[in-house]
Amino acid sequence: MQYADISAELLERVRARAPLVQCITNFVAMDIAANLVLAIGASPAMVHAKEEVEEFAAIASALTINIGTIAPEWVEGMSLAASTASRIGLPWVLDPVACGATRWRTQVARELAAKRPTLIRGNASEILALQADRETTTRGVDSTDPVERAQTAARALAKTYGAIVAVTGATDFVTDGSRELGIEGGDPLMTKVTALGCSLTAVSGAFLAVGDSAFESTVAALASFKIAGSRSALNCPGPGTLRWRMADELHRLDAAAMRSEARLLSYA
């Protein structure tokens, strides 16, 4: 089966099963990420306290961890949740927001990556900084590098941590260290809406929950955002409208659109 067909089937599974996705995310992303997880057809729960993450992980179908607005107490919850997920075989995603901006943030991202996430999803600057220290570090949450520059780093991270690595941007790139694929689409206006990347991380949890292969689930999640982003940007007056159109378009997305509108690039 082609990846577009698999993506279509995975979307139908998300809709049929409405998997419970435990999201530990930042204050900026909480609202939109929860809404976009709902729009794709899954059930989000923003649960992060160290007192309950372990118990909650046991009932969740996937976990996503995003370090956007970390503080020490949050890191404790993230660390416990990540260890629990790896121990019980729950698929989980790491979003290393602004990795490279400060030493502490980079260290936290690397400690979480060492707990073996199923998927690491970030923009190019974050993936570069997670893989190796650089002279020019990322300025913050927005990427200052093109996706192509982070491909080698993504392959290396995939091998080091045994994870799928997705680098998002103008053309997304996904690798498991040997297989790789590009996903085209979306629109530059997406960079003017904060927390879309964080929301994609949360939505990836929904696809991981229902998939047989983490690589295939990642492709499906990335494709869903590219299609919804392209559709949302049509005659769009600006970022405010795009933000909520993303919810409408993810909700409207169906298997037929996944099959016909996913623009997948094979590099092999």
Ligand X SMILES: Nc1ncnc2c1ncn2[C@@H]1O[C@H](COP(=O)(O)OP(=O)(O)O)[C@@H](O)[C@H]1O
Q: Is 195 annotated as a binding residue?
A: yes
Residue 182 CA to residue 201 CA, distance in Å, equals 17
3-state SS, one letter per residue, for 31-57: HHHHHHHHHHCCEEECCCCCCCHHHHH
Cα-Cα end-to-end distance for the chain: 17
Q: In this chain, which of 25, 175, 229, 245 binds ligand X, going by CB under 6 A? A: 229
Q: Is 66 in the site for ligand X (CB under 6 A)?
A: no
d(CA 109, CA 130): 7
Residue 130-149 contact track with Mg ion, rule CB under 5 A, x = bound: --------------------
CB of 99 to ligand TZP, least distance (A): 11
Q: How far is the CB of 178 from ligand TZP (least distance, A)?
A: 27
Report the alpha-carbon distance of residue 34 to residue 132 in Å, rounded.
Answer: 32
Residue (31 or 73) nearer to ligand X, CB: 31
**Contact between 115 and ligand X per CB under 6 A:** no
Which of 167, 196, 174, 189 is CA-nearest to residue 265? 174
- Pair 93, 65: CB distance under 8 Å: yes
Structure tokens at 29: 């992303």
Q: How far is the CB of 197 from ligand TZP (least distance, A)?
A: 3
161 to 200: interface string for ligand TZP, x by CB under 6 A? ---------------------------------xxxxx--
Does residue 96 touch Mg ion according to CB under 5 A?
no
**Site membership for ligand X, residue 143 (CB under 6 A):** yes
- Binding Mg ion (rule: CB under 5 A), the pick from 97, 147, 153, 193 is 97
Burial degree of 88 (CB within 10 A; 0-12, 13-18, 19+): exposed
- Number of residue whose CB is nearest ligand X: 197
- The residues binding ligand X (CB under 6 A) are 123, 142-143, 168-170, 172, 186-188, 190-191, 196-197, 200, 225-226, 229
